[in-house]
Amino acid sequence: MGEGRTGGLWTPQTRALTVGLVLTITFVASEALAVVTVMPSPVILAGCACTAGCSARSCWAA
Amino acid sequence: MLGSVVGIVAAGREADRRGPAVPFVAALILFASGLAIAGLAPSMEVLVGGRVLQGMGAGAVPSVAYAVIGRSFPGPLQARMMAVLSTAWVVPGVAGPALAAGVAHLFGWRWVFLGLLPVVAVAGSIAMPALIRLGPPASGQVQEHRLIYGIAVAACATMLLAGLTLVAGSGAVLVGGALIAAGVAGGLPALRRLVPPGTLTARRGLPATILSRGLLTFAFFGADAYVTLAITAVRHLSPVVAGIAVTGATLGWTAGAWVQARLSETWEGPRFVRTGLVIILAGIAGMVLVLQPTVPVAEGLVAWTVAGLGMGLAYAPLSLMMLRKAPPGGEGRASASLNLADVLGTAIGIGVGGAAVAAGAGGNLAMGIAAAFAAAAAVGVVALVITRRLPPGTTASPPPAAQPVPARVPDHEGQR
C-alpha cells in the first residue's frame, strides 16, 4: 500500500472524509459483528438485512 | 429487513435532494438511538425495537457513502477508497466477536451497545465538514424513490422467504406456495420502481450492473451462510475450525479488493466481475467436495478463502461501474438501487439455501447443503452470463457525464 497508490485519499484535504467514512463503517460493522456474539438470534435478526440467518458480513456488505 | 430497506431508499433519495450530510446525520442518529434503546432496554421487545432502528441507520450509511465517493473522488481514487472500506471490515471481522464477548463478560451485555455510542459520534463528526461542503448535486431529475415501494419490497421479500421456509421445512405447500406467489407478484412491481428501468431484464449498462450485484450477493452469501454448517454438522468439526473459513473469506475479500484497486486502470470492469465469479464458483465447488467425508476439511478452508478473494475482485468494480453510469445528480438513488440489490440478493440467497437445507434436514443434511451450494452456483452462472451486458471500460475511467466536483474536491495531481 504505497503512498503513490493511496496518497490521494490521505491528503490534508481528503483525510477527514476518508477517515470519517472508514471509522463510521468500521463501528457500524463492529456492532453488526459483535451483536452476533452476545445476543440471541431474534435480536440479531431484527437489525439485520437478512431474515433467514446471518453470516457476519452479509448483514452489511461494504 | 424492513428497517434496512427503508433506510437505504430514504438515504439515497435524500442524498440527491439535499446532499449527503442530512441523510448521513439522520442515519447516525437512528443508529445511535437504536444503540441507546437496545443498551437500556427493559425487555426483549424493546431490545428488538432498538435493533430495528440500528438496522435502519446501518442500511442508510452505504447509500450515502457510495454517493459521496462518487462525487468526491476521481476514478482511480474511487477504486482505492473501495479497497480501504473493505479493509475496514477486517478488524471488526477478526476481533469484533472476541471484543464483544470480553465487554459483555467484564461490564455486561448492555455495554456492547452503549460503548459504541461515543465512538460513532466521533467518527461521524470527522466526516461531517466534508459532507456539508459537498452540498446537494447541481442537477438531478431522476426516477423518484418512494418509501412505500421500499416497504412493499421488504414485506413481499419477507413473504417469499416465509413461503420458502414453510414449503421446505413443514411441507405446507399450499400456504407456502401462496406466500411465495404473493411475494413475487407484489414485490416485483414495487422493486421495478426502485431500480433503474430495465434492471429486471438485465438491460445493458447501469441496469445490468444493479442486477449483477444482486446475483453476486445471492451466489456468495447463499453459499457462505452454510459453510459453517457444512463444517460443523456434516464434518463434525468445531465452530473454531468453521470460523477459520469465514475469517479466511473476509481476508480474501479484502485482498481481492486491493487487487482490483491496483488493476483498476488496466482491467475493464466486466473482466473483474467475470474473474471474481469464476473464482467464487470454484470455491463453491470446493465446498461441495468437503461434504464428502474422504476430502480433507483443509481443502474447504482454502476453497472458501479463495471464494472470498473472488468476491473482493467482483464486488467493488460493480460499485464503481454503478457510479460511472449513475445519472448526474442521481448518484444517491443509483447507490440505493445497488444496496437494495445487495440486501435482496443476500436475503433471498440465504433464504433459498435455508429452504434447501431444511428440506434435507430430516433425511440427508449433506444433500440439503449441497442443494444450497448448487442453487448459489446456478445464480452465479446466470451472473456470469450477464457480465456481457456490463458497461465496458476500466473502473478507473471518469464517468462521461458526472465528473467529480473540482470546486469542492482537493487537487489530487500531486499524488498521482
| CATH number for the domain harbouring residue B307 | 1.20.1250.20
Whether B354 and B206 share a structural domain:
yes
- Note whether B101 contacts A38, CB cutoff 8 Å: yes
Domain assignment of residue B399, yes or no:
no
| CB < 8 Å to B116, chain A | 27, 30-31
Whether B130 and B270 share a structural domain:
no
Whether B188 and B203 share a structural domain:
no
User: How high is the pLDDT of residue B92?
Assistant: 79
CA distance B242 to B246: 7
pLDDT in tens, B152-190: 999 999 999 999 888 887 778 889 999 999 999 999 999
Q: What b/e string do you get for B143-159 counting C-beta neighbours within 10 Å, with b at 16 or more?
A: eebeeebbebbbbbbbb
Percent of chain B topping pLDDT 90: 56
- pLDDT, greater one: B44 or B22: B22
If one counts the domains in chain B, the total is: 3
Question: Choosing among B37, B80, B132, which should be mutated to test the A contact, i.e. which has the most A CBs within 10 A?
Answer: B80
Domain assignment of residue B396, yes or no:
no
Domain assignment of residue B414, yes or no:
no
Whether B189 and B45 share a structural domain:
no
In sequence order, the 6+-apart residues with CB closer than 8 A to the CB of B43 are none
Whether B210 and B266 share a structural domain:
yes
Whether B206 and B168 share a structural domain:
no
Mean pLDDT, rounded, of chain B: 88
- Gap from B142 CA to chain A (nearest CA, Å): 25
- Note whether A57 contacts B253, CB cutoff 8 Å: yes
Q: What b/e string do you get for B43-56 counting C-beta neighbours within 10 Å, with b at 16 or more?
A: eeeebbbbbbbbbb
User: How high is the pLDDT of residue B89?
Assistant: 78
- Note whether A23 contacts B122, CB cutoff 8 Å: yes
Domain assignment of residue B395, yes or no:
no
C-alpha cell at B390: 456490463
Task: Record the pTM.
Answer: 0.87
Confidence of residue B105 (pLDDT cuts 50, 70, 90): confident
Q: What was the ipTM of the complex prediction?
A: 0.80
**DSSP assignment of B291-347, as one string?**
TSTTS-HHHHHHHHHHHHHHHHHHHHHHHHHHHHHSPTT-HHHHHHHHHHHHHHHHH
- Which amino acid belongs to residue B119? V
Whether B155 and B263 share a structural domain:
no
SS3 (DSSP) at B268: strand
Rounded alpha-carbon distances, angstroms, from residue B392 to B76, B125, B170: 16, 38, 46
Does residue A61 carry a pLDDT above 70? Answer: no
C-alpha cell at B231: 463444517
- Gap from A30 CA to chain B (nearest CA, Å): 5
Rounded alpha-carbon distances, angstroms, from residue B249 to A1, B154, B255, B298: 20, 28, 10, 14
Contact B322, B330 (CB under 8 A): no
Whether B228 and B349 share a structural domain:
yes
Contact B307, B249 (CB under 8 A): yes
Domain assignment of residue B156, yes or no:
yes
B35 is in which domain, residue-wise?
Answer: 2-134
The answer to whether residue B232 neighbours chain A at the CB level (below 8 Å) is no
Confidence of residue A38 (pLDDT cuts 50, 70, 90): low
Question: Choosing among A1, A18, A54, which should be mutated to test the B contact, i.e. which has the most B CBs within 10 A?
Answer: A18
pLDDT in tens, B50-92: 888 988 898 899 889 999 998 888 878 899 999 998 888 777 7
Domain assignment of residue B246, yes or no:
yes
C-alpha cell at B382: 446466470
Confidence of residue A1 (pLDDT cuts 50, 70, 90): very low
pLDDT in tens, B196-232: 999 999 999 999 999 999 999 999 999 999 999 999 9
- Provide mean pLDDT across the span A26-41: 70
Instruction: Using the 3D structure, point to which of B114, B134, B154 is the last residue of a domain.
Output: B134
The answer to whether residue A15 neighbours chain B at the CB level (below 8 Å) is no
The answer to whether residue B141 neighbours chain A at the CB level (below 8 Å) is no
Does residue B270 carry a pLDDT above 60? Answer: yes
